[in-house]
Amino acid sequence: MHNLLQYLQGGDLRSIAGANTVVTLIKSQQHFDGLMSFLFSKDRLVVMRAADAIEKITLQKPEYLTAHSHTIVNLMDTAVDKELKWHLALMAPRLHLSSEALEIVWNQLTDWAKDQKESKIVRVNAIQALFELSRTNNNLKSALDLTIQDLKTDKSKSIQARLRKLTGT
């Protein structure tokens, strides 16, 4: 397997560096499992780019996340950096979750969506994830409606744009 770290290092937070190259190099669950380990790097840039690659890979191969559901849920609880949070939010609907884990994820996403101190990207991605989760879990639709009602007074243009897109208004 390629040395993935070389594609994830260097530069600054405005660059995804070689994250797109990493996406093309991951050809198996074993390779993906190795990439997941970079989410625990002490280097914020490496974590951000690994999360970006993981999020892109799992658009086509969501099953790669199956063995890592617990890890993603735990990271959602402990993540500090906005770059990791916004990717975790987009991955959350791809997880196969127990009802207990789903409740934890739902609550975290709701907190991120409503927290005006969070970055706009984290908040918008959390709203998107809540919407996607509610589409596959009918019992969450009323909880989503409550969150949407709470967010309708938010002054953020990006939040309002996402709400309009999701509600069709």
- State the average pLDDT over residues 64-91: 97
Select from 23, 40, 65 the last residue of a domain: 65
pTM value?
A: 0.92
Same domain for 88 and 49: no
What is the Cα–Cα distance from 47 to 95, expressed in whole angstroms? 19
% of the chain residues with pLDDT over 70: 95
Same domain for 78 and 158: yes
Select from 13, 35, 65 the last residue of a domain: 65
Same domain for 155 and 102: yes
Same domain for 60 and 76: no
Same domain for 145 and 75: yes
pLDDT at 169: 75
Q: How many domains does the chain have?
A: 2
Same domain for 101 and 150: yes
Same domain for 157 and 114: yes
- State the average pLDDT over residues 66-76: 97
Least confident of 13-22, 25-34, 103-112, 144-153: 13-22
Say which residues have a Cβ less than 8 Å from residue 155's Cβ, sequence separation at least 6.
Answer: none
% of the chain residues with pLDDT over 90: 83
Same domain for 101 and 46: no
pLDDT at 137 over 70: yes
pLDDT at 7: 79
pLDDT at 89: 98
Kindly provide the b/e burial profile for residues 59-98, where b requires at least 16 CB atoms within 10 angstroms of the residue's own CB. eeeeebbeebbeebbebbeebeebbbbbbbbbbbbbbebe
The 10s digit of each residue's pLDDT in 32-47 is: 999 999 999 999 999 9
Same domain for 82 and 52: no
H-only helix segments in 79-156: 82-91, 99-114, 120-136, 141-151
Select from 34, 65, 96 the last residue of a domain: 65
pLDDT at 5 over 90: no
Task: Note down the domain range covering 46.
Answer: 1-65
Same domain for 96 and 31: no
Same domain for 34 and 98: no
Confidence of residue 18 (pLDDT cuts 50, 70, 90): confident
Q: Which two tokens stand for residue 27?
A: 């050809």
Same domain for 75 and 135: yes
pLDDT at 1 over 70: no
Average pLDDT of the chain, as a whole number: 93
